[in-house]
Amino acid sequence: MATATEKTHVTATAKYVRTSARKARLVADIVRGKSVVQAQAILAYDTHAAAEHVRKVLQSAMANADHNAGLSIQDLVLARVTVDEGPTIQRFRPRAQGRATPIRKRTCHITIGLAPSGARSAGSRGE
């Protein structure tokens, strides 16, 4: 059931990002609930490798809000930031005595939802 505040959400998603969901969630937890201006400043100087991916999704969400919804970017907050696990690419590495050990190359899906600063949803923790 969609409420009035959910209709004002603008989202952007990056799928199959080649970083683990656990590492990307560390960055997502830092910027969740912040204003767009604060989140950009944080992500610009964050040393995590996943910060670059989250920053690109944030820029895409800002462009969607400006172009598609006609919202003012200065008034937006990151109401919803989720990082879900994507498919894991399996590879094998040869080991001693004819054995093989798996190498798991993990991926994730990053979703950012922007809303006007007065319309924070109840599920802003990403649930």
What domains sit in the chain, N to C, each tagged with a CATH number?
A: 16-116 (3.90.470.10)
Is pLDDT at 26 greater than 70 in this prediction? yes
- Specify the higher pLDDT residue, 127 or 102: 102
Predicted pLDDT of residue 119:
59
Predicted pLDDT of residue 120:
53
Is pLDDT at 4 greater than 90 in this prediction? no
Is pLDDT at 121 greater than 60 in this prediction? no
Give the pLDDT mean for 2-17.
Answer: 75
Of the listed ranges 16-25, 34-43, 114-123, the one predicted with least confidence: 114-123
**Tally of CA atoms within 13 A in the half-sphere of 98 that contains its CB:** 0
